[in-house]
Amino acid sequence: MKKLIFNNNFFYKSLDNIISQRSDNYESKIANKVKKIIKNVKKNGDKALIDYTKKFDRINLTAKKLRLPKTIKKNNIDQKIFSNFKQAIVNIKKFHKLQFPKNYLLSDKGTTIKSVWTPLDSVGVYVPGGQAFYPSSLIMNVIPAKVAGVKRIVCVTPPSKNVNPYISALIKELGVDECYQIGGAQAIAALAYGTKTIKPVNKIFGPGNNYVALAKKQVFGKVGIDLIAGPSEIIVVADKKNNPNWVASDLLAQAEHDVNSQSILITDSNTFGNEVINKIHKLKLSLNKKNIINKSISSNGILIIVNNILQASEIINYLAPEHLHLHTEQKNKLVKYIKNAGCIFMGEYASEAFGDYIIGTNHVLPTFGSAKFASGLGVLDFMKRNSIAKINKSGYLKYRNQVMQMAEIEGLDAHKLSVKIRQNKQK
């Protein structure tokens, strides 16, 4: 874990060097490979999907077997655990219903304009698979789509000889009618351009590996996308009055996601910071993903020492982290200065894991500093706004001269003509 002292003349330069290295590590050199995959799927459809599934996943499928079976092996599901997912669905649905937008109308003499929100016709949801299955990602993407009123939701997930039973069960629980066992860039291409088996969608959601992220980037424009998701990241702000074990566990929770994940601790106590680092090394020994954690912490972990805990706000707004955890007693004061963060967790008991799973907030959040201009996934991402304008004769007479003058200034004679010609009703 690298240590930086805030207010050092070289602080931001040193910080940028660490951040850029992480970004460079994640920047893939596979863009051309992804481009070829997309082109192949676009041209050969189902055949390309079947070939890539055999090549990358080592599973033989036919066009008929691309669709995920609806049968669920209930014996493989712990009903107590599944009830936890059901509780999460209730909480997440409740929170996201509050986000549903209202239409609005403005009337003036001769003009009426209104804004109408409508759901997207169709969306695709990528559910990561392979080495890790994330049923929670399925929930987080499908629920706001359902709340928005999207009629067609298509799920894709990498194939497996033994399909994760919780994903299958949740697909049924959430009411998703279409799900296909394809993954990688080829799945994104299928959602964007369609095949004989899979009809294209309007927008694609969900996290994935480098191939998935780059594929989403390359098909953007043909379809909409949610965001380009990078590895997970967290900033924890804590003072010496906090429990170092608890703080260490929060940093470890992010580090276990990926070797490119980033865990940052900001504290006003060098002694406390060193104590947290010691706890990280002790706690990780019992964890399944300690090798990933080691690489993540050593490459991307940062301990930042500030003189005053409120100085953390400047660093936070500069980095715009995906997750922010305010352990400090000054959390209520500090949060007033925070502008850029995906989701803020307040208090020593507010482990970020609660947001990942059950309390109701969405865990699909902007990464790599994109919280400066983006928000976490919500209902509005699954909707679009239509503007409707009604103009009668009195409205025409009120604004005609202004419009013609403005069109003339811009050299758009046809615009001017379209207004002027309505001064009389002669054909």
pLDDT score of 68: 85
Task: Output the pLDDT for position 129.
Answer: 75
Q: What is the pLDDT of residue 391?
A: 96
Sites in the chain below the pLDDT cut of 50: none
pLDDT of 62: 93
Q: Summarize pLDDT for 246-301 with one digit per residue, the tens.
A: 999 999 999 999 899 999 999 999 999 999 999 999 999 999 999 999 999 999 99
What pLDDT does residue 27 have? 59
Q: Do the domains spanning 2-27+230-373 and 45-104+117-227 agree at the CATH topology level?
A: yes
CATH number of 45-104+117-227: 3.40.50.1980
Between CA 95 and CA 106 the distance in angstroms is 29
Amino acid at 408: E
Q: What per-residue confidence (pLDDT) applies to 164?
A: 77
Q: Which pLDDT does position 414 carry in this prediction? A: 98
Domain-wise residue ranges, the chain? 2-27+230-373, 45-104+117-227, 392-423
pTM, two decimal places? 0.91
What is the per-residue pLDDT for 228?
A: 85
Which residues does the annotation mark as catalytic? 322-323
Q: Which whole-number Å values give the CA distances from 300 to 14, 25, 66, 208, in the listed order?
A: 12, 11, 39, 20
Are the C-beta atoms of 113 and 388 separated by less than 8 Å? yes
Instruction: Report the topology of domain 2-27+230-373.
Output: Rossmann fold (3.40.50)
